C-alpha cells in the first residue's frame, strides 16, 4: 500500500498524481487558517531538502466546506492529517471530521512544545480517541530521546497505527553570504538523509508496539520501500521524491513488487518485519499484542497488524 | 504525470550562459513564459527553466550557472539524458497590441520563443557586462543597454510590456508600465503545486507562483520579501505576486 | 581551532594524525571498562555511516594510569570525554580528572535515559561543575524535542561551552537478506547526513546560550567548517572524515583559511555568528550574556565567547 | 598521514574479479598480507584491500565486486585517480620452512605477492566455480579444487600453512593446521585504529583487527559472531581474532 506523505502533494492541483496512490493524505489541517512562513521556504542540500512551509492550510472550516468534498470526489480514500497546539484542538478537529467520509485521521504530533513528549502524546491521542471512531495514526518525529516510549504511549492512548517519520531539524547557509537560505533559518530535513533515520524509527517502534506503521523518509525506489516494510512498515509513503518524480507511486509500486519477488516473497507485505527475524529462520522476537479495536480499525483502511 | 527522459542534442556557451538543447520527445513546448522542471544529474530536486527556443523536435533552455543545479545542467553533454516535466504554470498572454519585451540578465531566457510567437516585436534588454549581452543575439530586434544604464532608463511609453528579469527590475518596470505582464521567479521544489515552497505574498495572502504564475499581469498590493509594498497592475486573475528578494 | 570528534581517532595508534589537531579529544571514558558492542559495528550508507561501537574504553582507572600520561606526552592539549549513567558517575569521573593535566572535560550527555533531558542535563552538569574547575563542555544529541532548552539548562548548571552534535539514530539493512547490518540493529548516524542537522543545532544553541561551541557533524571541507563557524561555532571537530582522510585536519585548516579570506574575513573566527546578522549589516540578534567563569575557562582552552 | 592519490594503470577482469593496477607513487608495497585502504569514488568510507601484486612501480589489487564500494573500484578506468592509504596492519611472517598457501575465493588476493616473496611455494586454492578459479592463474604452483570439494579435503599434513579465505574455511584450516597463519577479515572504516569498528572478540576481549591483524597465527579461545568457540593456534602476540560471521 502506497500513500503520499502529508504536505508533499496537492491532490486538487495534480489529481492524476493523487489517483496513483492507494490512499491520499492531506496536508496538515489546523483549527485556523495559516498562511505559512515567509519565503524562502525550500532549499536543497547535498543530503536532502529543507522546508519551512509552516503548515500553510486553509483551516478546518474552509477545509470541510471547500476542500474535502473535492478530494473525496477524486476516488482514493482520503486520510486527513490534523495538527494543533493542544490536546483539545486535536479533539475538536477529530470531532469535526467524524461525520465526514475521511477514511482515517493522521495526528501530526511532530512538533511537541513540551519537555515530556510521552505525556503530550498520551494527552493528544487520548483526546482524539475520545472524539472519533475513525482509524487514528500518530505521526511522530524521530528526534525524540526515547521514541519507542512515545510510540507506546500513543498506542496505549488509543492510536491504531503510527506514521513514521516526520522531518528532523536542519539548516543550510548560502555559500556566498553565509546567511540561512530559509526565511525561518532552520527547517525540516527530508529526503535521502532521513532514510537510515526512518528505518531505525520503524524498526524500534514496530518492536515496541506491534502497531501497523506507515513508513516514510527518503523513499525513492522499490528497494527503499521494501526495507521499510522489512523493518516493520505495513504501508509506505512518498514525500520528497514526488517533487522530482510525480509518477513515483506507480514506479515504486512496480519496483517494490519486483524486489520482493526477487527475494522470494509472494508479495511485498510478506516481507513485513523480516528484519526482526534471525537469519537462521527463527521467528522475530516477541510480538506485542495489539488491541482488538486497533486491529479492526487498521484493517478498515487495509493495513494488517 | 511522469517526467519525460529527454536526450541532450547540444549544449553551447552563449556568453556566460549555456544553451541546452534537448530532443523534444512527446513534450509540447507550451506557451512562452511557461516553464519546465529539469532534473540536474546528481541533484535531489528539479530546477525550473523557462522555455527559450522551440525549434522543430527540440526544446531549448538558456541556463545561468549560479549554483549546483544549474552548473550540473550546463555540464550536460550531447547524448546525456535529463528528466523533464512540463510545460507548467501560466505563460504570457499573446494578445498585446504593441508588444515590447523588456528583460535583464538571464531574464531574457523566455524571449527568443516569445519573440517568435509574437512576430519579432522590439525588445529592450539590459545586461551587466558585454559578455552577458551575448545572449541578446538570441532575441530579434533587440536594443541592448549595459550597466550602469538600466532598461527602465531607456523604456519608452506606449507599449504593452512583457517583462522578465531580476525582481528590482520587474518592480521598476511595473511602476513605469502599469499594464505590464511580468514573469517572476521563486525557488521551486516541484513546479506543480505540491510543495507550497514557491509561495509568495500577495495582498497579504500567500500564493503558489508555480500555480498562479510565473507570468502575472497584476495591479494589487504586493509585498516583497524585503517588505517593500508597491502597487502593480491588476492581473487577469486579480492578483499580483512577488518573487523572493535578494536578486542575483 | 580544529579538534577531532570523540571516538574518531586513537592518538596512540596514530600519533602523527593526532598532532595535527589543536587539541585532541579522547574517546568517551566511563567508570568501568567496556568492551563495546558485538560486531558488526560499522556500516556505510548512501548518506553517512552507522556505528555501534558501544563506548568501548578501558575505564577510568586504566585510562588514568596507562592512557592519559601517554596522550599528554604527544603534545597537543588533551580534552577528556566522559560518560556515565548517572550524575554521580559524571561527578566522580570529573573529580578523578581534576588532578590531571587534562585541558578540558567533555561531558557526553548524548544518551540520556530519561524523559526530561533538561532535568538530566542540569543534574549532570551541576554535579560535574561541583567536582571540577576545568573547562566543561556539554556534548548534546541534536535529537531532542527542545535542544536550545537543554543547552540553556546546561549553561545555567555551569557548562563553559557546548559540543554539538553527536550522532542520531539510524539503521541500515543488508540489501540481500533485509537483516540489520549492525549487530545492535540501530546505531549512530554520522557524516554528510548530519551536516544540516549540526548547522541547525549550532545556530539555535548559539542564539540561546552565547556559549563557545565546538561544532561537528559531517565536516569534510573548509567550507563546511566555515559554515559551522558562521552558525556560531568557535571551534570545529572532525569525525567520520578522518576515516577516509586521516590528514583532514591540515587540509581543512588550510581550506578554511582560504574560504574565510575569499569572503573578506581576516581570519575564520571573524566569521563567527555571521549567519545571525542581517544581510544589510545590522548586527545579530541579542547576544546572551555569558557568565564570567565560563568566559574565563573557555579562554583557557583558546575558545572565545 | 594522508592518503596518496594514485592513478589507475589498468583494470582487467579475472573471472568475476577485477585486477586493479595503480601507479605506485611513493607508497611502499609492504609485507604480503598487509592491506591498503582504497577510497571508491562516490563513497564515504575507504575499503580494505590486500595487496595482490607488486610489479615495479605498481600496486595491484584483486577486487571482488560484492557491494557498492567494490563495484565502484571495479568500474575504475585507466587515468582515473583513487585515494590510497597504506600499507597497514600486520602481514604474514615470511620465515616458515615448508610454506603452503591455502585460500578460497577472493581470499587468494594476497597470494600472488606472497608467493613471489616466498619463492613460489605450493598453493591449494578452492573456488565456487570454474569462472572464479580463473584467479588461480595469478598464483604459481597452485592446485585448484572446486566446490563441493573443499581445500580442507585436500590439505596434506606437514606444511606451514598461510591461509586466507572465508571464515568457515579459516576455522577449518586452523583445526587441521594448528600453526597456520590466518588472514582474517572484518568490516573496517579506517584501517588505522581510529574507529574501533573492526573489533572482533578474542579470549572474551575485543581487539582491533586492523591494529592486531589482519594476519594472526594464534592459539587462543576465539569466539566468532555466531558464538562458536574454537581453539586456534597461539599467535606471536598471544591472541587470536575472529572475523565477523556470515561469510560470502
Ligand atoms: C519559473 C522560473 C523560470 C526560470 N527560468 C530560468 C531560465 O530559463 N534559466 C535560468 O538559468 N534560470 C531560470 N530560473 C532560475 C533557476 O531555476 C534557478 O537559478 C535555479 O533553480 C538555481 O539552482 P542552483 O542549484 O543552480 O542554485 P541554488 O543553489 O539553488 O541557488 C543559488 C543561489 O540562487 C538563489 N536562488 C535559487 N533559486 C532561485 C530562484 N528561483 N529565484 C531567485 N533566487 C534563487 C539561492 O537562494 C542561492 O542564493 C527560473 C526560475 C523560475 C522560478
Ligand atoms: C584486511 C582486509 C583485506 C581485504 N582484502 C580484499 C581484497 O583483496 N579483495 C577484495 O575484493 N576484498 C577484500 N576485502 C574485503 C573488502 O574490503 C570488502 O568486500 C569491501 O569492503 C566491501 O565493500 P562494498 O561496499 O563492496 O560492500 P558492502 O556493502 O560494504 O558489503 C557487502 C556485503 O558484504 C559484507 N561485508 C562488507 N565488508 C566485509 C568484510 N570485510 N568482511 C565480511 N563481510 C563484509 C557486508 O556486511 C554486506 O553484507 C578485505 C577486507 C579486509 C578487512
Ligand atoms: C514540503 C514539505 C511539506 C510537508 N508538510 C507536512 C505537513 O503538513 N504535515 C506533516 O505531517 N508532514 C509534512 N511533511 C513531512 C512529510 O510528510 C514526511 O514526513 C517527510 O517529508 C519525510 O518523507 P520524505 O523524506 O519522503 O519526504 C512535509 C514535508 C515536506 C518536504
Ligand atoms: C566510530 C565513531 C565512534 C564515536 N564515538 C564517540 C564517543 O565515544 N563519544 C562521543 O561523544 N561521540 C562519539 N562519536 C560521535 C562523534 O564524536 C561525532 O559527534 C559524530 O560522529 C559527528 O561528527 P562527524 O559527522 O564528523 O563524524 C563517535 C562517532 C563515530 C563515527
Ligand atoms: S514549486 Fe511546489 S508548489 Fe510551487
Ligand atoms: S578499521 Fe577502524 S579501528 Fe580498525
Instruction: Give the cell for residue B77.
Output: 553533454
Q: For residues B192 and B219, which has the higher predicted lDDT (pLDDT)?
A: B192
| DSSP character at residue A268 | G
| DSSP character at residue C173 | B
HSE-CB for A32 with a 13 A CA cutoff? 4
Pair D138, D53: CB distance under 8 Å: yes
What does the pLDDT read at residue A118? 87
Q: Average pLDDT in the C251-275 region?
A: 97
The residue whose CA has the least distance to atom 27 of ligand 2 is D67
Name A151's bridge partners.
none
What does the pLDDT read at residue A282? 60
Residues B28-77 pLDDT 10s = 999 999 999 999 999 999 999 999 999 999 999 999 999 999 999 999 99
Q: Average pLDDT in the D147-155 region?
A: 92
Residues D49-67 pLDDT 10s = 999 999 999 999 999 999 9
Report the C-alpha gap between B3 and D211 in whole angstroms: 51
Q: How far is A231 from chain B (nearest CA, A)?
A: 25
Indicate the number of domains in chain A: 1
CB of residue D197 inside a 6 A radius of ligand 6: yes
State the distance between the two ends of chain B, measured CA to CA, in whole angstroms: 32
Distant-in-sequence, close-in-space partners of A239: CB < 8 Å, separation ≥ 6? A4, A5, A7, A8, A190, A191, A216, A217, A219
Pair D182, D192: CB distance under 8 Å: no
Q: How far is CA A207 from the centre of its chain?
A: 18
- Tell me whether residues C279 and A175 touch, CB distance under 8 A: no
Nearest CA-CA partner of C185 in A237, A206, B43, B126: A206
Q: Mean pLDDT check: name the lowest of C238-247, D72-81, D219-228.
A: D219-228
Q: For residues C75 and A281, which has the higher predicted lDDT (pLDDT)?
A: C75
Separation of CA C147 and ligand 3 centre (Å): 21
Nearest CA-CA partner of B102 in B214, B186, B177: B177
Cβ burial of B2 (10 Å; 0-12, 13-18, 19+) is middle
Residue B205's pLDDT band, with cuts at 50, 70 and 90, is confident
- The answer, yes or no, to whether residue B221 has pLDDT greater than 50, is no
D27: how many CB neighbours lie within 10 A of its CB?
18
- Has residue C60 been placed in a domain? yes
C-alpha dihedral over A109, A111, A112, A114, to 10 degrees? 180
- Tell me whether residues A46 and C192 touch, CB distance under 8 A: yes
Pair B231, B240: CB distance under 8 Å: no
Q: Average pLDDT in the B161-180 region?
A: 92
CA distance to A105, A196, D55, D134, D135, per residue, from D116 (Å) = 70, 45, 10, 18, 16
Tell which D residues from 170 to 209 touch C, by Cβ distance under 8 Å. 186-190, 192-201, 205-206
Residues C131-144 pLDDT 10s = 999 999 999 999 99
Partner-chain residue, chosen from D194, D205, D244, that has the shortest CB–CB distance to C10: D194
- Tell me whether residues C45 and A195 touch, CB distance under 8 A: yes
- The reply to whether omega before D214 is within 30° of 0 (cis) is yes
Determine contact: C42 vs chain D, CB below 8 A.
Answer: yes
Residue D221's pLDDT band, with cuts at 50, 70 and 90, is very low
Provide the CATH number for the domain formed by D99-230 in this structure.
3.40.50
CB of residue D193 inside a 6 A radius of ligand 6: yes
Nearest CA in chain B to A56: B196
Name D19's bridge partners.
D12, D62
CB pairs under 8 A between A and C: 166
Contacts of C192 in chain D (CB under 8 A): 44
- Three-state SS for A263? coil
What does the pLDDT read at residue B201? 72
> Considering the entire predicted model, what is its pTM?
0.94
- Return the H-helix or E-strand segment holding C155: helix C147-156
Q: How many residues does chain C have?
A: 305
CA distance to A92, A141, C75, C195, D209, per residue, from C27 (Å) = 51, 29, 17, 21, 18
Distant-in-sequence, close-in-space partners of A54: CB < 8 Å, separation ≥ 6? A34, A35, A36, A37, A41, A184
- Tell me whether residues D194 and C48 touch, CB distance under 8 A: no
- Three-state SS for D64? coil
| DSSP character at residue C266 | S
- Has residue C42 been placed in a domain? no
Pair B150, B175: CB distance under 8 Å: no
What does the pLDDT read at residue D248? 30
Instruction: Give the cell for residue C123.
Output: 543534574
- The answer, yes or no, to whether residue D97 has pLDDT greater than 80, is yes
- The answer, yes or no, to whether residue A59 has pLDDT greater than 80, is yes
- Three-state SS for B102? strand
Mean pLDDT of chain D: 88
Nearest CA-CA partner of B245 in B220, B223, B226: B226
Report the C-alpha gap between C67 and C90 in whole angstroms: 19
Residues B90-144 pLDDT 10s = 999 999 999 999 999 999 999 999 999 999 999 999 999 999 999 999 999 999 9
Provide the CATH number for the domain formed by B4-88 in this structure.
2.40.30.10
Residue A113's pLDDT band, with cuts at 50, 70 and 90, is low
Pair B154, B177: CB distance under 8 Å: no
CATH of the domain at A281: 3.20.20.70
Nearest CA-CA partner of B107 in B10, B189, B27, B182: B182
Name D142's bridge partners.
D123
Q: Could you identify the residue written with the cell 592518503?
A: D3
Mean pLDDT of chain B: 88
- Return the H-helix or E-strand segment holding D10: strand D4-14
Residues C21-72 pLDDT 10s = 999 999 999 999 999 999 999 999 999 999 999 999 999 999 999 999 999 9
What does the pLDDT read at residue C161? 97
- Three-state SS for B135? helix
Phi, psi of D145, rounded to the nearest 5 degrees: -120, 145
Contacts of A275 in chain C (CB under 8 A): 173, 178-180, 185
What does the pLDDT read at residue D224? 43
Tell which A residues from 5 to 34 touch B, by Cβ distance under 8 Å. 7-10, 13-14, 16-17, 27
Distant-in-sequence, close-in-space partners of B110: CB < 8 Å, separation ≥ 6? B32, B33, B50, B51, B52, B91, B92, B164, B183
Is C111 annotated as catalytic? yes
Report the C-alpha gap between C127 and C87 in whole angstroms: 6
Report the C-alpha gap between C107 and C128 in whole angstroms: 8
Report the C-alpha gap between C157 and C121 in whole angstroms: 8
- The set of chains that have 3 or more CB pairs under 8 A with C is A, D
Report the C-alpha gap between A198 and C47 in whole angstroms: 13
HSE-CB for A83 with a 13 A CA cutoff? 24
Report the C-alpha gap between C35 and C190 in whole angstroms: 21
B96: how many CB neighbours lie within 10 A of its CB?
18
Q: How far is C251 from chain A (nearest CA, A)?
A: 19
Nearest CA in chain A to B224: A39
Q: Average pLDDT in the A253-270 region?
A: 97
- The reply to whether omega before C197 is within 30° of 0 (cis) is no
Determine contact: A50 vs chain C, CB below 8 A.
Answer: yes
Pair D152, D169: CB distance under 8 Å: yes
Residue D246's pLDDT band, with cuts at 50, 70 and 90, is very low
Residue ranges of alpha helices (H) inside A133-194 are 147-156
Pair B87, B30: CB distance under 8 Å: yes
Residue A245's pLDDT band, with cuts at 50, 70 and 90, is very high
Report the C-alpha gap between D96 and D161 in whole angstroms: 8
What does the pLDDT read at residue D1? 85
Report the C-alpha gap between D44 and D39 in whole angstroms: 8
- Has residue A181 been placed in a domain? no
- The answer, yes or no, to whether residue B179 has pLDDT greater than 60, is yes
Instruction: Give the cell for residue A98.
Output: 467524524
Chain C interface disruption, residue of D199, D200, D244, most C CBs within 10 A: D199
Q: Average pLDDT in the A49-64 region?
A: 96
Residues C179-203 pLDDT 10s = 999 999 999 999 999 999 999 999 9
Name D48's bridge partners.
D37
Separation of CA A242 and ligand 5 centre (Å): 11
- Tell me whether residues A244 and B206 touch, CB distance under 8 A: no
Q: How many residues does chain A have?
A: 305
Residues A30-48 pLDDT 10s = 999 999 999 999 999 999 9
What does the pLDDT read at residue A281? 62
Instruction: Give the cell for residue B160.
Output: 504593452
| DSSP character at residue B96 | -
What does the pLDDT read at residue C110? 82
Do β-strands D221-223 and D229-231 pair in parallel, antiparallel, or remain unpaired?
antiparallel
What does the pLDDT read at residue D244? 28
CB of residue B28 inside a 6 A radius of ligand 5: no
Query: In chain B, at which residue ranges do the beta strands (DSSP E only) sit?
Result: 4-14, 17-23, 35-39, 47-50, 58-63, 81-88, 99-104, 123-127, 142-146, 160-164, 181-183, 199-202, 205-208, 215-216, 221-223, 229-231
Evaluated on CA atoms D111, D112, D114, D115, the torsion sign reads positive
What does the pLDDT read at residue C116? 67
B134: how many CB neighbours lie within 10 A of its CB?
16
- The answer, yes or no, to whether residue C118 has pLDDT greater than 90, is no
Partner-chain residue, chosen from C47, C199, C263, that has the shortest CB–CB distance to A193: C47
Whether the ipTM is more than 0.90: the answer is yes
Query: Could you tell me what percent of chain A has a pLDDT over 70?
Result: 95
Query: Which residue range is the domain that position A236 belongs to?
Result: 2-36+55-173+190-300
Residues D59-94 pLDDT 10s = 999 999 999 999 999 999 999 999 999 999 999 999
Pair C137, C109: CB distance under 8 Å: no
Mean pLDDT of chain A: 94
Instruction: Give the cell for residue B71.
Output: 552548473
Q: Average pLDDT in the A103-118 region?
A: 79
Residue B203's pLDDT band, with cuts at 50, 70 and 90, is low
- The answer, yes or no, to whether residue D237 has pLDDT greater than 70, is no
- Three-state SS for A7? coil
What does the pLDDT read at residue D200? 84
Q: Average pLDDT in the A147-170 region?
A: 96
What does the pLDDT read at residue D179? 87
A290: how many CB neighbours lie within 10 A of its CB?
17
Residue D184's pLDDT band, with cuts at 50, 70 and 90, is very high
- Has residue C239 been placed in a domain? yes
Q: How far is B41 from chain A (nearest CA, A)?
A: 11
- Has residue C283 been placed in a domain? yes
Nearest CA in chain C to D243: C39
Q: Average pLDDT in the D219-229 region?
A: 42
- Tell me whether residues C46 and A192 touch, CB distance under 8 A: yes
- The answer, yes or no, to whether residue A297 has pLDDT greater than 80, is yes
- Cα Rg of chain D (Å, integer): 17
What does the pLDDT read at residue B234? 26
Nearest CA-CA partner of D11 in D46, D62, D45, D51: D62
- Tell me whether residues A44 and B45 touch, CB distance under 8 A: yes
Separation of CA D187 and ligand 2 centre (Å): 6
Parse chain D into domains and list their residue ranges.
Answer: 4-88, 99-230
Residues of A recognised as catalytic: 111
Q: Average pLDDT in the A216-222 region?
A: 98
Amino acid at each position: 500500500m502506497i500513500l503520499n506523505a502529508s504536505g508533499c502533494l496537492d491532490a486538487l492541483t495534480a489529481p492524476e498524481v493523487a489517483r496513483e496512490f492507494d490512499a491520499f493524505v492531506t496536508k496538515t489541517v489546523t483549527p485556523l487558517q495559516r498562511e505559512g512562513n515567509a519565503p524562502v521556504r525550500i532549499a536543497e542540500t547535498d543530503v536532502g531538502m529543507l522546508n519551512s512551509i509552516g503548515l500553510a492550510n486553509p483551516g478546518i472550516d474552509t477545509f470541510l466546506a471547500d476542500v474535502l468534498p473535492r478530494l473525496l470526489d477524486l476516488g482514493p480514500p482520503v486520510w486527513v492529517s490534523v495538527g494543533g497546539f493542544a490536546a483539545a484542538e486535536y479533539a475538536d478537529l477529530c470531532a469535526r471530521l467524524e461525520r465526514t467520509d475521511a477514511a482515517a485521521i493522521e495526528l501530526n504530533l511532530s512538533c511537541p512544545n513540551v519537555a515530556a513528549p510521552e505525556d503530550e502524546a498520551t494527552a493528544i491521542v487520548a483526546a482524539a480517541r475520545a472524539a472519533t471512531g475513525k482509524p487514528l495514526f500518530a505521526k511522530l518525529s524521530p528526534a525524540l530521546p526515547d521514541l519507542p516510549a512515545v510510540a507506546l504511549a500513543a498506542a496505549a492512548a488509543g492510536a491504531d497505527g503510527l506514521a513514521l517519520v516526520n522531518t528532523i531539524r536542519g539548516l543550510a547557509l548560502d555559500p556566498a553570504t553565509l546567511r540561512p537560505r530559509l526565511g525561518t533559518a532552520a527547517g525540516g530535513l527530508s529526503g535521502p538523509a532521513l532514510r537510515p533515520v526512518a528505518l531505525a524509527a520503524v524498526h524500534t517502534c514496530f518492536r515496541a508496539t506491534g502497531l501497523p506503521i506507515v513508513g516514510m523518509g527518503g523513499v525513492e525506489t522499490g528497494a527503499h520501500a521494501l526495507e521499510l516494510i522489512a523493518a516493520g512498515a505495513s504501508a509506505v509513503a512518498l514525500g520528497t521524491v514526488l517533487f522530482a518524480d510525480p509518477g513515483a507511486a506507480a514506479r515504486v509500486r512496480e519496483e517494490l513488487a519486483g524486489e520482493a519477488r526477487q527475494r522470494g516473497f509472494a508479495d511485498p507485505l510478506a516481507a513485513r518485519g523480516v528484519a526482526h527475524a534471525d537469519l537462521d529462520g527463527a521467528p522475530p522476537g516477541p510480538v506485542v499484542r495489539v488491541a482488538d479495536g486497533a486491529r479492526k480499525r487498521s484493517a478498515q483502511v487495509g493495513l494488517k497488524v | 504525470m511522469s517526467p519525460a527522459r529527454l536526450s541532450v542534442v547540444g549544449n553551447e556557451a552563449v556568453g556566460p550562459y549555456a544553451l541546452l538543447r534537448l530532443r523534444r520527445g512527446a513534450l509540447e513546448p507550451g506557451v512562452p513564459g511557461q516553464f519546465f522542471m529539469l532534473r540536474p544529474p546528481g541533484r535531489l530536486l528539479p530546477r525550473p527553466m523557462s522555455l527559450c527556443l522551440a525549434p522543430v523536435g527540440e526544446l531549448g533552455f538558456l541556463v545561468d550557472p549560479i549554483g549546483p543545479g544549474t552548473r550540473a545542467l550546463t555540464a550536460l553533454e550531447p547524448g546525456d539524458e535529463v528528466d523533464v516535466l512540463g510545460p507548467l504554470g501560466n505563460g504570457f498572454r499573446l494578445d498585446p497590441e504593441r508588444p515590447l519585451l523588456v528583460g535583464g540578465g538571464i531574464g531574457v531566457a523566455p524571449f527568443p520563443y516569445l519573440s517568435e510567437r509574437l512576430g519579432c516585436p522590439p525588445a529592450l534588454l539590459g545586461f551587466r557586462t558585454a559578455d552577458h549581452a551575448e545572449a541578446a543575439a538570441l532575441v530579434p530586434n533587440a536594443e541592448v543597454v549595459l550597466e550602469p544604464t538600466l532598461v527602465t532608463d531607456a523604456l519608452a511609453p506606449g507599449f504593452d510590456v512583457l517583462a522578465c528579469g531580476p525582481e528590482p527590475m520587474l518592480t521598476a518596470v511595473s511602476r513605469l508600465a502599469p499594464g505590464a505582464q511580468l514573469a517572476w521567479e521563486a525557488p521551486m521544489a516541484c513546479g506543480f503545486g505540491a510543495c507550497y515552497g514557491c509561495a509568495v505574498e500577495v495582498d497579504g495572502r500567500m500564493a503558489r507562483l508555480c500555480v498562479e504564475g510565473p507570468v502575472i499581469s497584476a495591479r494589487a498590493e504586493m509585498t516583497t520579501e524585503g517588505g517593500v509594498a508597491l502597487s502593480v497592475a491588476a492581473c487577469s486573475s486579480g492578483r499580483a505576486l512577488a518573487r523572493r528578494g535578494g536578486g542575483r
